[in-house]
Protein backbone atom coordinates (compact mmCIF):
# COMPACT_ATOMS: atom_id res chain seq x y z
CA UNK A 1 0.00 0.00 0.00
CA UNK A 2 1.43 3.43 -0.92
CA UNK A 3 0.60 6.49 1.13
CA UNK A 4 1.80 10.08 1.21
CA UNK A 5 2.23 12.40 4.17
CA UNK A 6 2.89 16.09 4.18
CA UNK A 7 6.57 15.34 4.79
CA UNK A 8 7.40 11.87 3.57
CA UNK A 9 6.10 9.21 1.21
CA UNK A 10 6.11 5.60 2.36
CA UNK A 11 5.02 2.14 1.33
CA UNK A 12 3.88 -0.58 3.70
CA UNK A 13 4.09 -4.36 3.43
CA UNK A 14 2.13 -6.88 5.47
CA UNK A 15 -0.55 -6.67 8.09
CA UNK A 16 -0.92 -3.67 10.44
CA UNK A 17 -1.60 -6.12 13.27
CA UNK A 18 1.92 -7.56 12.93
CA UNK A 19 5.00 -6.19 14.68
CA UNK A 20 6.15 -2.95 12.99
CA UNK A 21 9.59 -2.44 11.52
CA UNK A 22 10.79 0.62 9.61
CA UNK A 23 13.37 -0.02 6.88
CA UNK A 24 15.40 3.05 5.86
CA UNK A 25 17.27 3.22 2.58
CA UNK A 26 20.81 4.20 1.59
CA UNK A 27 22.14 7.27 -0.23
CA UNK A 28 21.51 8.15 -3.07
CA UNK A 29 18.69 5.64 -3.58
CA UNK A 30 15.10 5.46 -2.38
CA UNK A 31 12.74 3.15 -0.53
CA UNK A 32 12.29 0.76 -3.43
CA UNK A 33 15.85 -0.56 -2.92
CA UNK A 34 14.41 -2.32 0.16
CA UNK A 35 11.16 -3.65 -1.31
CA UNK A 36 12.48 -7.18 -1.82
CA UNK A 37 13.64 -7.36 1.82
CA UNK A 38 10.39 -5.76 3.00
CA UNK A 39 8.26 -8.22 1.05
CA UNK A 40 10.13 -11.18 2.52
CA UNK A 41 9.98 -9.74 6.05
CA UNK A 42 6.23 -9.27 5.73
CA UNK A 43 5.93 -13.00 4.88
CA UNK A 44 7.80 -13.69 8.14
CA UNK A 45 5.04 -11.86 10.03
CA UNK A 46 6.20 -8.25 10.23
CA UNK A 47 4.45 -5.01 9.26
CA UNK A 48 7.15 -3.23 7.26
CA UNK A 49 7.14 0.50 6.59
CA UNK A 50 9.54 1.71 3.90
CA UNK A 51 9.77 5.50 3.53
CA UNK A 52 11.44 7.55 0.84
CA UNK A 53 13.66 9.68 3.04
CA UNK A 54 13.35 13.47 2.58
CA UNK A 55 14.84 14.51 -0.77
CA UNK A 56 14.40 11.07 -2.36
CA UNK A 57 11.75 9.25 -4.39
CA UNK A 58 8.30 10.74 -3.88
CA UNK A 59 9.21 12.74 -0.76
CA UNK A 60 9.61 16.52 -0.71
CA UNK A 61 12.95 18.09 -1.53
CA UNK A 62 14.56 20.80 0.51
CA UNK A 63 17.18 23.21 -0.90
CA UNK A 64 18.90 23.24 2.53
CA UNK A 65 21.14 20.45 3.82
CA UNK A 66 18.87 17.81 5.34
CA UNK A 67 20.24 16.63 8.65
CA UNK A 68 19.81 13.06 9.83
CA UNK A 69 17.84 14.35 12.84
CA UNK A 70 15.32 15.91 10.43
CA UNK A 71 14.94 12.61 8.59
CA UNK A 72 14.47 10.90 11.99
CA UNK A 73 11.69 13.40 12.84
CA UNK A 74 10.03 12.50 9.53
CA UNK A 75 10.02 8.83 10.57
CA UNK A 76 8.44 9.74 13.91
CA UNK A 77 5.72 11.67 12.01
CA UNK A 78 4.95 8.55 9.98
CA UNK A 79 4.90 6.44 13.16
CA UNK A 80 2.47 8.92 14.75
CA UNK A 81 0.31 8.93 11.63
CA UNK A 82 0.21 5.11 11.67
CA UNK A 83 -0.35 5.13 15.46
CA UNK A 84 2.75 3.04 16.03
CA UNK A 85 3.94 3.59 19.56
CA UNK A 86 6.97 1.29 19.50
CA UNK A 87 8.73 -0.26 16.55
CA UNK A 88 11.94 -1.82 15.29
CA UNK A 89 14.12 0.37 13.13
CA UNK A 90 16.43 -0.94 10.43
CA UNK A 91 18.66 1.42 8.48
CA UNK A 92 21.10 0.71 5.71
CA UNK A 93 24.08 3.07 5.50
CA UNK A 94 22.54 6.60 5.46
CA UNK A 95 19.41 4.87 6.79
CA UNK A 96 21.57 3.67 9.68
CA UNK A 97 22.69 7.24 10.44
CA UNK A 98 18.99 8.14 10.59
CA UNK A 99 18.23 5.11 12.80
CA UNK A 100 20.90 6.25 15.29
CA UNK A 101 19.52 9.81 15.21
CA UNK A 102 16.05 8.43 15.86
CA UNK A 103 17.23 6.34 18.79
CA UNK A 104 18.95 9.45 20.20
CA UNK A 105 15.83 11.61 19.97
CA UNK A 106 13.17 9.03 20.90
CA UNK A 107 14.71 5.94 22.54
CA UNK A 108 11.41 4.93 24.14
CA UNK A 109 9.86 4.47 20.69
CA UNK A 110 12.55 2.02 19.48
CA UNK A 111 12.37 -1.67 20.41
CA UNK A 112 15.20 -2.98 18.19
CA UNK A 113 17.95 -1.44 16.10
CA UNK A 114 19.22 -3.09 12.93
CA UNK A 115 22.31 -1.20 11.75
CA UNK A 116 23.21 -2.40 8.28
CA UNK A 117 26.32 -1.40 6.30
CA UNK A 118 26.60 1.73 8.39
CA UNK A 119 28.84 3.45 10.90
CA UNK A 120 28.56 5.49 14.09
CA UNK A 121 31.42 7.93 13.47
CA UNK A 122 31.15 11.41 11.97
CA UNK A 123 32.88 12.30 8.69
CA UNK A 124 36.52 13.30 8.63
CA UNK A 125 37.44 16.64 7.04
CA UNK A 126 38.29 14.76 3.84
CA UNK A 127 34.95 12.94 4.03
CA UNK A 128 33.07 16.25 4.36
CA UNK A 129 34.89 17.60 1.31
CA UNK A 130 33.91 14.52 -0.64
CA UNK A 131 30.22 15.05 0.38
CA UNK A 132 30.47 18.57 -1.08
CA UNK A 133 32.08 17.16 -4.23
CA UNK A 134 29.17 14.73 -4.59
CA UNK A 135 26.68 17.58 -4.12
CA UNK A 136 28.46 19.59 -6.82
CA UNK A 137 28.59 16.64 -9.22
CA UNK A 138 24.82 16.18 -8.78
CA UNK A 139 24.08 19.88 -9.30
CA UNK A 140 26.54 20.53 -12.13
CA UNK A 141 26.85 17.21 -14.00
CA UNK A 142 23.54 15.61 -13.08
CA UNK A 143 22.34 12.60 -11.13
CA UNK A 144 23.62 9.99 -13.59
CA UNK A 145 27.17 11.24 -13.04
CA UNK A 146 26.71 10.46 -9.32
CA UNK A 147 25.28 7.04 -10.19
CA UNK A 148 28.21 6.18 -12.45
CA UNK A 149 30.73 7.26 -9.85
CA UNK A 150 29.07 5.45 -6.94
CA UNK A 151 27.78 2.16 -8.36
CA UNK A 152 31.16 0.37 -8.42
CA UNK A 153 31.50 1.13 -4.71
CA UNK A 154 27.89 0.32 -3.78
CA UNK A 155 27.66 -3.17 -5.28
CA UNK A 156 29.94 -6.19 -5.08
CA UNK A 157 32.44 -6.66 -7.88
CA UNK A 158 30.56 -9.82 -8.89
CA UNK A 159 27.27 -7.94 -9.29
CA UNK A 160 28.95 -5.15 -11.25
CA UNK A 161 30.62 -7.61 -13.63
CA UNK A 162 27.97 -10.30 -14.00
CA UNK A 163 24.58 -8.83 -13.20
CA UNK A 164 23.84 -5.98 -15.62
CA UNK A 165 20.10 -6.05 -14.82
CA UNK A 166 20.79 -5.31 -11.15
CA UNK A 167 23.28 -2.58 -12.05
CA UNK A 168 20.70 -1.02 -14.39
CA UNK A 169 18.00 -1.21 -11.70
CA UNK A 170 20.23 0.57 -9.16
CA UNK A 171 21.16 3.20 -11.72
CA UNK A 172 17.47 3.77 -12.52
CA UNK A 173 16.66 4.14 -8.81
CA UNK A 174 19.40 6.75 -8.42
CA UNK A 175 18.28 8.50 -11.60
CA UNK A 176 14.74 8.68 -10.20
CA UNK A 177 16.05 11.25 -7.71
CA UNK A 178 16.82 14.92 -8.29
CA UNK A 179 20.15 16.79 -8.13
CA UNK A 180 18.75 18.98 -5.34
CA UNK A 181 17.59 16.06 -3.23
CA UNK A 182 20.95 14.32 -3.58
CA UNK A 183 22.93 17.49 -2.85
CA UNK A 184 20.85 18.31 0.26
CA UNK A 185 21.25 14.81 1.69
CA UNK A 186 24.96 14.69 0.89
CA UNK A 187 25.50 18.00 2.71
CA UNK A 188 23.23 16.81 5.55
CA UNK A 189 25.31 13.64 6.05
CA UNK A 190 28.42 15.82 6.36
CA UNK A 191 26.80 17.60 9.33
CA UNK A 192 25.98 14.47 11.31
CA UNK A 193 27.51 14.27 14.76
CA UNK A 194 29.68 11.43 16.02
CA UNK A 195 27.29 8.83 17.46
CA UNK A 196 30.09 6.68 18.94
CA UNK A 197 29.55 8.01 22.50
CA UNK A 198 25.89 6.89 22.27
CA UNK A 199 26.70 3.25 21.54
CA UNK A 200 27.27 2.03 25.13
CA UNK A 201 23.91 3.60 26.07
CA UNK A 202 21.91 1.62 23.52
CA UNK A 203 19.94 -0.70 25.77
CA UNK A 204 17.79 -2.51 23.20
CA UNK A 205 18.57 -5.59 21.11
CA UNK A 206 20.74 -4.54 18.18
CA UNK A 207 21.85 -6.31 15.04
CA UNK A 208 24.91 -5.01 13.23
CA UNK A 209 25.14 -6.34 9.67
CA UNK A 210 27.82 -5.75 7.08
CA UNK A 211 28.57 -7.04 3.61
CA UNK A 212 31.77 -9.09 3.51
CA UNK A 213 32.99 -6.97 0.58
CA UNK A 214 31.62 -3.60 1.73
CA UNK A 215 34.23 -0.97 0.84
CA UNK A 216 32.24 2.07 2.06
CA UNK A 217 31.80 0.84 5.61
CA UNK A 218 33.77 -2.27 6.47
CA UNK A 219 33.86 -5.29 8.75
CA UNK A 220 36.24 -3.64 11.21
CA UNK A 221 33.95 -0.66 11.70
CA UNK A 222 31.00 -3.01 12.13
CA UNK A 223 32.92 -5.06 14.71
CA UNK A 224 33.76 -1.93 16.72
CA UNK A 225 30.15 -0.82 16.65
CA UNK A 226 28.88 -4.25 17.73
CA UNK A 227 31.45 -4.43 20.54
CA UNK A 228 30.44 -1.00 21.86
CA UNK A 229 26.70 -1.77 22.02
CA UNK A 230 25.88 -3.96 25.05
CA UNK A 231 23.19 -6.16 23.42
CA UNK A 232 24.53 -6.24 19.88
CA UNK A 233 25.22 -9.17 17.64
CA UNK A 234 27.22 -9.00 14.42
CA UNK A 235 26.36 -10.74 11.17
CA UNK A 236 28.58 -10.64 8.08
CA UNK A 237 26.70 -11.17 4.81
CA UNK A 238 28.94 -13.34 2.59
CA UNK A 239 29.91 -12.16 -0.89
CA UNK A 240 27.89 -8.93 -0.58
CA UNK A 241 29.17 -5.40 -1.14
CA UNK A 242 27.88 -2.23 0.53
CA UNK A 243 24.24 -2.59 -0.56
CA UNK A 244 23.60 -6.00 1.05
CA UNK A 245 19.87 -5.52 0.46
CA UNK A 246 20.55 -5.62 -3.28
CA UNK A 247 23.55 -7.96 -3.51
CA UNK A 248 22.07 -10.53 -1.11
CA UNK A 249 18.47 -9.66 -0.17
CA UNK A 250 17.51 -13.21 0.86
CA UNK A 251 20.54 -13.69 3.15
CA UNK A 252 20.03 -10.25 4.69
CA UNK A 253 16.33 -10.93 5.32
CA UNK A 254 17.07 -14.27 6.99
CA UNK A 255 19.54 -12.49 9.31
CA UNK A 256 17.02 -9.73 10.11
CA UNK A 257 14.09 -12.10 10.65
CA UNK A 258 16.04 -14.53 12.81
CA UNK A 259 17.37 -11.63 14.94
CA UNK A 260 13.82 -10.31 15.39
CA UNK A 261 12.45 -13.78 16.22
CA UNK A 262 15.16 -14.44 18.80
CA UNK A 263 14.81 -11.13 20.66
CA UNK A 264 12.02 -9.81 22.85
CA UNK A 265 9.30 -7.64 21.24
C1 LIG B 1 24.97 5.19 1.71
O2 LIG B 1 25.06 4.08 1.15
O3 LIG B 1 23.96 5.58 2.28
C4 LIG B 1 26.18 6.08 1.65
O5 LIG B 1 27.20 5.44 0.97
C6 LIG B 1 26.56 6.48 3.02
C7 LIG B 1 27.81 7.29 3.07
O8 LIG B 1 28.29 7.74 2.03
O9 LIG B 1 28.32 7.52 4.19
Q: What is the pLDDT of residue 63?
A: 86
Backbone angles phi, psi at 99, to 5 degrees: -60, -40
The helix/strand/coil state of 208 is strand
Ligand 1 atom at minimum distance from 243 CA: 2
Quote the pLDDT of residue 1.
Answer: 43
pLDDT along the chain (265 residues), means of 10: 64 96 98 98 97 96 94 96 96 98 98 98 97 98 98 97 98 98 98 97 98 95 97 97 98 98 84
Render 169-183 in DSSP notation, one character per residue: HHHHHHHTS-HHHHH
- Distance, in Å, from the CA atom of 8 to the CA atom of 61, rounded to the nearest integer, reads 10
**Cα–chain-centroid distance for residue 176?**
17
Closest atom of ligand 1 relative to the 26 alpha carbon: 3
Peptide bond into 135 cis (omega under 30): no
- Could you say which DSSP state residue 64 is in? S
The reply to whether ligand 1 has any atom less than 6 angstroms from the CB of 94 is yes
Amino acid sequence: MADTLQFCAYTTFGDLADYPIFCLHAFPLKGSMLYSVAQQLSLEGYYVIVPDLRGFGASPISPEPVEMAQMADDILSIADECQLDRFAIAGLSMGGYVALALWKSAPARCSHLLLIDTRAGADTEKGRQSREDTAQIALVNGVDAVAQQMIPRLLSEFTVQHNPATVAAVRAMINGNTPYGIASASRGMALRPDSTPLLPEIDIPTLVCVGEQDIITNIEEAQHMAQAIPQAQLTVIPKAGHLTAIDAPATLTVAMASFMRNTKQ
